[in-house]
Amino acid sequence: MDLVSFLPQLGGFFYVIASFVVALSVIVAVHEYGHYIVGRWSGIHAEVFSLGFGPVLFSRVDKRGTRWQIALLPFGGYVKFLGDSDAASGKDAAAMAEASADPAALRRTMHGAPLWARAATVAAGPVFNFVMSAVIFAGVFFASGTIRNPLTVADVMPLPGLEQDLQAGDQLLQVEGVSVPSLEDSAAWEGFRTSVPEQQPLRYTVLRDGQQAEVQGPYPWPPHVRGVAPRSAAADADLQPGDVIVAVNGAPIFAFDQLKRAVEGGEGAELQLEIWRDGDTFATALTPRRVDEPQADGGFATQWRMGIVGGLAFEPASEAVSLSDAIIAGGAQVWGVVDMSLSGLTHMITGAISTCNLSGPIGIAETSGAMASQGAESFIRFIAVLSTAVGLLNLFPIPALDGGHLMFYAYEAVTGKPPSDGVMRVLMTFGIAAILTLMLFALGNDLFC
């Protein structure tokens, strides 16, 4: 391979790494700031706030005596409180012995503070991750609004091989004689989907400028690519948002369900696709993959998938939402990510779905780059999802994680005394070993799945 052909791949590699570092740095900064600020409010002194590990590139000490620093390896961070021996908040026996002579100094240490202060400081990291995710989801929802009800055309998307008469502002009343239901009635909407005949063109009854009119339009759900899933067959085939799949294995198609049936019925066989992009048509090959998809009942179903998201044949009009509705929706999305993550983990442990669903640093980095390439909104949403996952992971009751410390504090609350230093050292060693094992397993998934 010569240098000229290698440069685009090298640029793509750096783009992926940069996207990953940005996403991780934001999440880590928010997580560690949660620890720092709640610790400060609780009277615990922070000696070091570090973004990254290893050699320090930049640092400054603030008026409270906390050293803020940026280190060379941008794959994490930590807050070291007074009395900690390391980034995992192990006890510094010498520092604690020195502080024990002065009650005021002892109170400022992590291990000499009251139980409530320690618990609040530790819990604040994951809580700040969840709050950041909820704020991002709410902000995106507030900015983009919700689809206007009744369904109204905002913009007509170009589709190949069809003359259509839909216009921006048309309010849809019927499609081929089938009434368009309220978007809030999911059962009626599904009935509408199945009742519309799979043909085109179709006869649309619309309300236009206050007058009812009949116009010609496309099948409402075309094989139009609205989004591409990272690390999917479609991503490997370089499909892009805006593409329209016009033929599969030589057979013309115009409905997304036609494409879905071809993918699921092929059982993993390679598909020859004809793609329409910006007025030009080209051919490409794609091999679907088996994907474990979450279901409404909390379970998973394994299907053959390309990895694309479809949508309507036009851009639906949106309307503003209230701030309260946006906040509620943001919180609901955070809970949805948590629920899906726990369900997925449970199904992996029981063997119901493949452990290949667990991604490691390489998979997360590739996903970061893919989402960043799809635009700022996709990347910001990805940061929110990843922030929720990081917050949830840190709450697992594994020594060396925040959840492990909270488990020790719960033990102390019940028994009236913390575990002995010897027991803590053993448990922390096992915890670190478990974390490293999990990381290696996830990395193996990235390389071999």
Catalytic site positions = 32
- The radius of gyration of the chain's CA atoms, rounded to the nearest angstrom, is 27
| DSSP for 335-400, written as a single string | HHHHHHHHHHHHHHHHTSS-GGGS--HHHHHHHHHHHHHT-HHHHHHHHHHHHHHHHHHHTSS-TT
- How many CA within 13 A on the CB side of residue 421? 8
- How many CA within 13 A on the CB side of residue 292? 18
3-class SS letters over 248-262: ECCEECCCHHHHHHH
Written as six digits, the tokens of 133 are 């995710």
Closest C-alpha to 370, from 5, 16, 1 = 16
Measured between alpha carbons, how far is 186 from 171 in angstroms, rounded to an integer? 19
Measured between alpha carbons, how far is 278 from 263 in angstroms, rounded to an integer? 24
CB 151 within 8 A of CB 307: no
Measured between alpha carbons, how far is 17 from 11 in angstroms, rounded to an integer? 10
Distances (CA, A) of 20 to 41, 74, 195, 401, 437: 32, 10, 44, 22, 22
Q: Which helix (H) or strand (E) holds 302?
A: strand 300-305
CB 252 within 8 A of CB 289: no
Q: How many helices (H) and strands (E) does the chain have?
A: 12, 18
Contacts 24+ apart (CB under 8 A), 173-179: 173/205, 173/206, 173/207, 173/212, 174/204, 174/205, 175/202, 175/203, 175/204, 175/205, 175/217, 175/220, 176/202, 176/203, 177/203
- How many CA within 13 A on the CB side of residue 357? 23
- How many CA within 13 A on the CB side of residue 127? 11
